[in-house]
Amino acid sequence: MGRRPPRDRFMPDVWVFPGGRVDPSDATRPAESELRPEVAEHLERFAPPARARAIGVAAVRETWEETGLVLGGRDEQGLRPGLAHLEYVARAITPAGNPIRYNARFFLARGEEARGDLRSNGELLDLAWIPIGEALELDIIDVTELVLREVRDRLAGRTRPGVPFVHYRAGARRIRRD
């Protein structure tokens, strides 16, 4: 996790996971491995297959750009995402009316699969591997808390069907499992 810079206009000083938008090049980037069928199936419930794959590529690319950690490999053409390392954890859409909107997917990968040295590109400060219990005590938003609790439950063997989807209707937070 990392802390957003204090002068950011969106969630300043809040602890978040690395992430960002899907770039057009994510749709065609060669990968070291593809999404596992169960991950692709979940993503494809709300995105066409090519977009679902690009979402996975973006997750790996953004993690590399913001933290220096690579899931997969690199060659003379650049990053080759290891999409098979990804487990789909949750999805969230910001409330209507927020100045900055996102439709985010959250993924989990084993730390042992990441290569490289943890380093910041400036988008996130104080990058660190933080135990879940300690992360829940940081300045985080409700969606980050939900994702951390979901991961904690999965690691403890407490799994439920579906993937949590957080969205807002008439100002009220709603959670369903898709």
- CA-wise closest residue to 66 among 112, 2, 11, 5: 2
98 has pLDDT over 90: no
pLDDT recorded at residue 107: 98
135-147 pLDDT, tens digit per residue, is 999 999 999 999 9
The DSSP secondary structure of 68-117, one letter per residue, reads: S-EEEEEETTEEEEBGGG-EEEEEEEPPTT-SS--EEEEEE--GGGEES-
* Domains of the chain as residue ranges with CATH: 2-177 (3.90.79.10)
pLDDT recorded at residue 79: 95
The mean pLDDT of 118-133, rounded to a whole number, is 95
163-174 pLDDT, tens digit per residue, is 999 999 888 999
- Residue 95's pLDDT band, with cuts at 50, 70 and 90, is confident
| pTM of the shown model | 0.94
- CA-wise closest residue to 49 among 58, 60, 37, 61: 37
